[in-house]
A = this chain, B = another copy of it.
Amino acid sequence: MASSACILAISLLALVVFIALASDQSPIQDFCVANNGSTVLLNGLTCKDPKEVVADDFSFSGLHLAANTSNALGCHVTPVTPSEMPGLNTLGLSIVRIDYAPQGLNPLHTHPRASEILVVLEGSLEVGFITSFPENRHIGKVLQKGDAFVFPVGLVHYQRNPGPTNAVAIAALSSQNPGVIIVANAVFGSIPNISSNILEKSFQINKKAIGYLQTKF
Contact = CB atoms under 8 A, between A and B. Distances in A.
Number of this chain's copies in the complex: 6
Given A59-B147, A194-B138, A198-B158, A181 B93 contact: no
Q: How large is the interface on A (under 10, 10 to 19, 20 to 34, 35 or more residues)?
A: 35 or more
Interface in A175-191: 175-177, 179-181, 183-191
Given A55-B141, A117-B88, A41 B47 contact: yes
Interface string A87-130: 11111111100000001010110101101110111000010101
Contacts of A217: 204
B43 A136 contact: no
Nearest to A95: B117
Contact of A62 (B46, B58, B65, B146): B146
Contact of A92 (B53, B89, B174): B174
A83 to B, nearest CB: 12
B149 A91 contact: no
